[in-house]
Structures are given as C-alpha cells and as structure tokens.
Amino acid sequence: MKLEDVIRSRSGNCCELCKSQQDLSVYEVPPQDQANADNCALLCGNCLAQVEKKAELDQQHWHCLTESMWSEVPAVQVLAWRMLNRLRNESWAADNLDMLYLTDENLAWAKATGDHENDGSVDLHRDCNGAILQNGDTVVLTKSLDVKGSTLNARLGTVVKNIRLVADNTEQIEGKIEGQTIVILTKYLRKQNEKQ
C-alpha cells in the first residue's frame, strides 16, 4: 500500500488538524530523512498554507487543535505543538500547550525548525497597496525604473505578467520586461486585479 493511501485511510480522508475534507494532500513534517506514516500528516489547503507560512495565521481556525493535539500520530502532535507555539499569546493556545505532552524525541523534532522561537507573524510578498502577491500574478509598475547593468528602462505603467516571488526576500519579485528577466522591488508595483 502506498504511503498516501495509508495516511488517507488512517485519517478517514480528513485533514488531521481541522477535519476538513477539502483540498487534501500529504505533508512531510520537516526535518526528516525519509517520509513514513509517522512523520507525515494529511492536511487541507488552508492548514497547509498557514503551516508553511504562505498565508496569514487565522487564530479562529486553529481552535481545532484543542482536539487534534491528542492524536497518537507523531507528525500531528509535532504540528499541533508548533502551531500552538505560534499562537501562544492567545490564552486558549497557551493552556493547550501546557497540557500537550510530547516524548523527548518528538519534542526535539518539534523544536528542530526553530519555529517555536518566532511569533505567529507571516512575511508575505505584498505590493505597494498591501495586496498579497503570488507566483504567476500580473503586476503594473508604479514608478519608472532604470535596470542596473542594462540600458533597459522600465516605464511607469509597464505590465509584467507571470511574476515569480523571490523566496528569501519578500520585498523582491522577478519578472520579464522586453524579454529580460529582472528583479523588481514590490514597493514599486501594484497587483493587477483582473486578467486581461
């Protein structure tokens, strides 16, 4: 039996954190050497985006941890511990964190990413108006820009399609202008709302 089938069977085809049945996928809880049923969990798209810090933390959504933190699956326990730590400023999360017991091995695994040392804030790529940017979006320049090391001048109002987010810098995206891929600061662009 495939790993995904084992995990789907174990979870009853529901997200192992919030019990949603929508947009499910197997998530390998980092860090790990090799995926197995103990270090993977079935997550819905909403939980996955927040776990991976690709979406704002929705505190109301995570009340589901009050139940799922008691799972016998090590991966689910570790994820619950990490998410409760991100929410530790909420009294209900702090109370649950005090009650949650992890073996020494699972606690070491939970702490391995250092996630518990951060608050629940998420750094996302945002345009000049605060709209969240994603890979593949179309943006419009809000300022004329001279491209370093090139004679190219990107004019105000230039449309840049199919952008790529710079993974380690939320203030930069990559896009093509006149066939040349350049890095553009997010403060100089605005997300185009409708596809044209």
Helices (H) and strands (E) in the chain, counts: 6, 10
* Joined tokens for residue 90: 């909420």
Distance CA 121, CA 52 (A): 12
Quick one: pLDDT at residue 196? 44
Annotation: CATH topology of 139-191: SH3 type barrels. (2.30.30)
Distance CA 87, CA 2 (A): 34
Q: Where are the alpha helices (DSSP H) in the chain?
A: 3-11, 45-51, 65-68, 74-86, 91-99, 104-111
* Joined tokens for residue 181: 């891929």
Quick one: pLDDT at residue 122? 64
Q: How far is CA 33 from CA 28, 30, 103, in A?
A: 10, 9, 19
As averages over each run of 10 residues, the pLDDT of the chain (196 residues) reads 93 97 95 92 95 87 96 96 92 94 94 73 78 88 84 86 86 88 90 68
Q: Where are the domains of the chain?
A: 3-117, 139-191
Give me the residue label for tokens 């896009």.
175
CB 123 within 8 A of CB 177: no
Distance CA 16, CA 24 (A): 10
